[in-house]
Amino acid sequence: MEKQSITNTSSSPWIRGSCIGRGCFGTVTKAVSKIDGGVFAVKSVDLATCLPSQSESLENEITILRSLKSHPHIVRFLGDDVSKEGTTSFRNLHLEYLPEGDLSNGGTVVDETLIRRYVWCLVSALGHVHSNGIVHCDVKSKNVLVVNGGSSVKLADFGSAMEFKKPTAGIAPRGSPLWMAPEVIRREYQGPESDVWSLGCTVIEMLTRKPAWEDNGFDSLSRIGYSNELPFIPAGVSELGRDFLDKCLRRDRSQRWSCGQLLEHPFLCQDHHSFVTESSPRCVLDWVNSDFEEDEVSDVARVESTVSAMARMSKLATTGGAKWESNGWIEVRANAFEESGAQGEYLVSARVESELNTSVRPPGNEESTSAMTCELLLQSGNMPGQKIETGHEDMVHDVQMDYYGKRVATASSDCTIKITGVSNNGGSQHLATLTGHRGPVWQVAWAHPKFGSFLASCSYDGQVILWKEGSQNQWTQAHVFTDHKSSVNSIAWAPHDLGLSLACGSSDGNISVFTGRADGGWDTTKIDQAHPVGVTSVSWAPATSPGALVSSGLLDPVYKLASGGCDNTVKVWKLSNGSWKMDCFPALQKHTDWVRDVAWAPNLGLPKSTIASGSQDGKVIIWTVGKEGEQWEGKILKDFMTPVWRVSWSLTGNMLAVSDGNNNVTVWKEAVDGEWEQVTVLE
C-alpha cells in the first residue's frame, strides 16, 4: 500500500492526507475528521504564495456553495476554514470525497439509457443552481463526478460560478473556452442559457470522449462565437437525443430551452424514474443515505442500480480514483536527414529557437484529442529521442526551446506555462510552472539571451505576460500588457539587432508592438484593425535588407512585420517615422480561408524577401519580392488537403518545415531553379 503523506495540526479538527489533485486553483488533498473518522476532500491554497486569482476563485467557490441548499446531484459543501500547518497558512474548502473520478477520464458511454440518466442528473443540478440565481459557467465532463459505482453523477467545481446579473456589455468570460456558448465567446452575456449550451457540448463529449469542438486554438473560438456552425452530433444518437441536443445548442440563446423545460423533454422524462440518486458516504461506516435530509431527495425516485448499468459504467469511470495528475507527454525526436545536403543543414546546432526550426504538432486526430500531447521536432541529428512529461492538465498549444536548446517552454489550456530542462543524454527535469493567465495560453516566445532570461506568453484572456528569471528557475512577472480587448493569438520577438521588441496579434483585429526602454519601461506602437476579423499570426522580417551581406557600406536596420488573419490575407507592415504602415498593396490574397501562420525567412544575403503562409484551406504559399516597392508574387508550395498549422524556416532560409492537420511534418528545400522539393516527411 502506498504510504500517504499526513500532516497533523494540533489545532485543527481534521488531519490532512495525501495530495489527490493539483491545478490552477491550488491543491486537493484527502482529509480525515478527528471527530468521527469521516473522509472528505480539502481544496486549499497557500495564503502566502498563491496568486490573487487563485484565492479569489476559492473564496468564490466557498461563497457560492455556502449559499446553495444541498442537492443530490451537486457535490456537497462540508465547510471551510483556515489552517496553520507549520509555518504555512492555508485557506481550505471542505467537500465530500468522491473517489470514482470524473467523466473525462473514462471511455465513451455507448448506452443511451445511461446517458439519459447522467444528463437528467446534470439538468436537475443546473436547474437547482439557476433557481438560486447562480450560473455555473464551467459545465463539462471534467467537472462531472461519478458516484455510486457509476449509476449517478454530481456537478462539481464552482470556482467559476457567479451570481446571475442582467446583461451588460463587455463581460469577462468564465469557464473553459471549448464549452463556452457563442455569446460568451463574444463577451456579450453569460447566464443560465449559456450553461445549457455547455450542457449540450458535455453530452456530445460523453458520446465521443472528446470536446464537441476540435481544439484548434483561438480559431476554434472564432468558429464558436462568430460562425453559423454547430457541434457535430455523432451517428447513432436517437431522434429524441438529437432533438434534445437541438434544444440545447441553438446559437440564439433566446431559443434555447431552460432546465425546467429540458426535464420535461421526452429524452429525459421517459426514463427518469429509474435514476439512482444515492449519496456518497462521508466515512467508511456511512454507506447509506442517512446524512441526507428527506426533502433533499423527495422528488427523486430511489431504486437499486442494475448489474448491467454497473458493467456499462466500468467503461466510463476510472478504477483507481480521480486522475488529477497529468498524463500529458511531449515527444521530442531527432531526425538526421539522409538526403543530399539536408543533413549538414540540420546538424549545425542544437540551438533551436522560435525564430529557427521548431515545429509543433497540435493534436488533430482521434488518437490525440483525449491526450495533452504534441510533438517537438528538434532539427539536430545527434540528439537522442526523448519523451518529456509536460505536467499539463489540458491541451498543449505551443512548445518553444530556448536559445541554447537546454530548456523547453510549453503553453496549455490549463492556463499555465511549464519549463522543462532537457539534455542530450535523454534526461529531462521539470524546472518551473508559471501561473498568471486566466485563460488558455496560446503561445510562448523566448527573448534573445543578450537581454537576459525573458519569456513572453499570450493568452485567450487578452493578456501578454513578460516573465523574467531572477535566480535560477525562479520566474516572476516583469510586466503584464493589457492593451488588447480580446484573445492574443500570436507573439514574436524582433531580431535582436532591433532591440527588445515584441509583436502581438489579437482577435480584436489589432497588432501591438512593445519595445523595452533602458529605464525598464515600455513603449507601445499599434496597427489598428490590421485584420478586422482577427489577427492569427505575426512574424518579423530580418533586420537587414535582401542582399545586404554582399553590399558595401552601412545600412539602416529594417523594421518590417508580416501578419496573417481571419480575412484570409497576408499583410506586410513597415515602421516609418514612429508609426506602422502597410507595405504591400493590395494585401496578399491567394488563400481562401483563414491564414493560420506566417513566417518570414532569414535572407543571409539572398537577393529577395520570402514569406511562407499556411492556411485553413490546406495550402502553403511562398511569397517573394525582389527590390523595395515591387509587387509580391505568390506561388503555391502544395495543397495539403488539410489545415496547415505551422510553417517554420531553417537558419539559411532555403528549407521550410510544414506541420499539417494530419499530424505530419514535411520538410521542403528550394532548388537552384527556384522550385521546391519535399525532402522528408515525419508521420
**DSSP assignments along 343-362, one per residue:** HHHHSS-S---TTSS-EEE-
Residue 43's φ and ψ, nearest 5 degrees, are -95, 125
SS3 assignment, position 208: helix
Q: Are 80 and 116 part of one and the same domain? A: no
* H helical segments located in 567-634: none
| Highest mean pLDDT, choosing among 125-139, 544-558, 638-652 | 125-139
pLDDT of residue 351: 24
C-alpha cell at 525: 506602437
Q: Does any domain span residue 256?
A: yes
* CA distance from start to end of the chain: 42
Residues 6 or more apart from 523 whose CB is under 8 A from it? Answer: 514, 515, 517
Q: Are 80 and 211 part of one and the same domain? A: no
pLDDT of residue 290: 33
pLDDT of residue 559: 94
pLDDT at 295 over 90: no
CA 92 to CA 95: how far, in whole Å? 10
Q: Are 304 and 198 part of one and the same domain? A: yes
| Highest mean pLDDT, choosing among 6-15, 156-165, 327-336 | 156-165
Q: What angle do CA 320, 326, 330 make, to 5 degrees?
A: 135
What secondary structure letter does DSSP report for 533?
T
pLDDT of residue 110: 54
Q: Are 149 and 164 part of one and the same domain? A: yes
Name the average pLDDT for the chain: 80
Which residue ranges make up the annotated binding site for ATP? Answer: 43
Q: Are 649 and 544 part of one and the same domain? A: yes
> What's the rounded mean pLDDT across residues 627-653?
90
> What's the rounded mean pLDDT across residues 194-216?
92
pLDDT of residue 570: 98
C-alpha cell at 82: 483556515
Q: Are 107 and 153 part of one and the same domain? A: yes
Strand partners, 154: 145
pLDDT of residue 385: 54
pLDDT at 581 over 70: yes
pLDDT of residue 50: 83
Gyration radius of the chain's alpha carbons? 27
Active site residue 138: yes
> pLDDT tens across 23-69, in order?
767 789 999 988 888 899 999 999 888 878 888 889 999 999 999 99
Q: Does any domain span residue 432?
A: no
pLDDT of residue 276: 39
CA 379 to CA 336: how far, in whole Å? 8
pTM reported for the whole predicted model = 0.61
pLDDT of residue 379: 44
Q: Does any domain span residue 342?
A: no
Confidence category of residue 427, pLDDT binned at 50, 70, 90? confident
Which of 158-167, 352-361, 474-483 has the weakest average pLDDT?
352-361
Confidence category of residue 492, pLDDT binned at 50, 70, 90? very high
Do residues 590 and 617 touch, judged by C-beta distance below 8 A?
no
CA 231 to CA 224: how far, in whole Å? 9
Do residues 536 and 489 touch, judged by C-beta distance below 8 A?
yes
Share of the chain above pLDDT 90, in %: 50
Higher-confidence residue: 286 or 128? Answer: 128
Task: Calculate the alpha carbon distances from 17 to 5, 36, 425, 561, 563 in Å.
Answer: 6, 16, 37, 54, 52
Q: Does any domain span residue 475?
A: no
pLDDT of residue 168: 55
Cβ-count burial 326-355 (b if 16+ within 10 Å, e if not) = bebbbebebbebeeeebeebbbeebebbbb
Return the H-helix or E-strand segment holding 435.
strand 428-435
Strand partners, 610: 624
Q: Are 92 and 107 part of one and the same domain? A: no
Q: Does any domain span residue 224?
A: yes
Q: Are 615 and 493 part of one and the same domain? A: yes
| Highest mean pLDDT, choosing among 16-30, 154-168, 376-390, 616-630 | 616-630
How many domains are there within the chain?
Answer: 3
Confidence category of residue 405, pLDDT binned at 50, 70, 90? confident
Residue 339's φ and ψ, nearest 5 degrees, are -65, 150
| Highest mean pLDDT, choosing among 166-175, 224-233, 564-573 | 564-573
Task: Calculate the alpha carbon distances from 483 to 170, 363, 454 in Å.
Answer: 15, 30, 20
Q: Does any domain span residue 209?
A: yes
Cβ-count burial 501-531 (b if 16+ within 10 Å, e if not) = bbbbbbbbbbbbbbbbeeeeebeebebeebb
pLDDT of residue 106: 61
pLDDT at 336 over 60: no
Query: Which amino acid type is present at position 624?
Result: T
C-alpha cell at 147: 458516484
Last residue of a domain, one of 313, 346, 364: 313
Query: Which amino acid type is present at position 207?
Result: L
Q: Are 92 and 108 part of one and the same domain? A: no
Do residues 501 and 524 touch, judged by C-beta distance below 8 A?
no
Do residues 33 and 43 touch, judged by C-beta distance below 8 A?
no
CA 107 to CA 151: how far, in whole Å? 15
pLDDT of residue 7: 46
Higher-confidence residue: 348 or 608? Answer: 608
pLDDT at 425 over 80: no
CA 152 to CA 120: how far, in whole Å? 10
Higher-confidence residue: 470 or 606? Answer: 470
CA 81 to CA 94: how far, in whole Å? 8
CA 619 to CA 610: how far, in whole Å? 16
Q: Are 85 and 170 part of one and the same domain? A: no
Q: Range of 225's domain?
A: 103-313
pLDDT at 334 over 50: no
pLDDT of residue 604: 63
CA 410 to CA 376: how far, in whole Å? 10
Q: Does any domain span residue 569?
A: yes
> pLDDT tens across 237-278, in order?
999 999 999 999 999 999 999 999 999 999 998 655 444 344
Residue of 138, 195, 219, 660 marked catalytic: 138
CA 267 to CA 119: how far, in whole Å? 10
pLDDT of residue 625: 92
> What's the rounded mean pLDDT across residues 423-427?
76
Q: Are 511 and 634 part of one and the same domain? A: yes
Which of 4-13, 85-94, 350-359, 418-427 has the weakest average pLDDT?
350-359
| Highest mean pLDDT, choosing among 4-13, 292-301, 322-331 | 4-13
Last residue of a domain, one of 247, 282, 313: 313
SS3 assignment, position 481: strand
pLDDT at 93 over 80: yes
pLDDT at 302 over 50: no
Q: Are 88 and 119 part of one and the same domain? A: no
Task: Calculate the alpha carbon distances from 552 to 526, 533, 547, 549 in Å.
Answer: 34, 43, 10, 8
Greatest pairwise CA separation for the chain in angstroms: 90
Residues 6 or more apart from 380 whose CB is under 8 A from it? Answer: 334, 346, 347, 349, 350, 352, 405
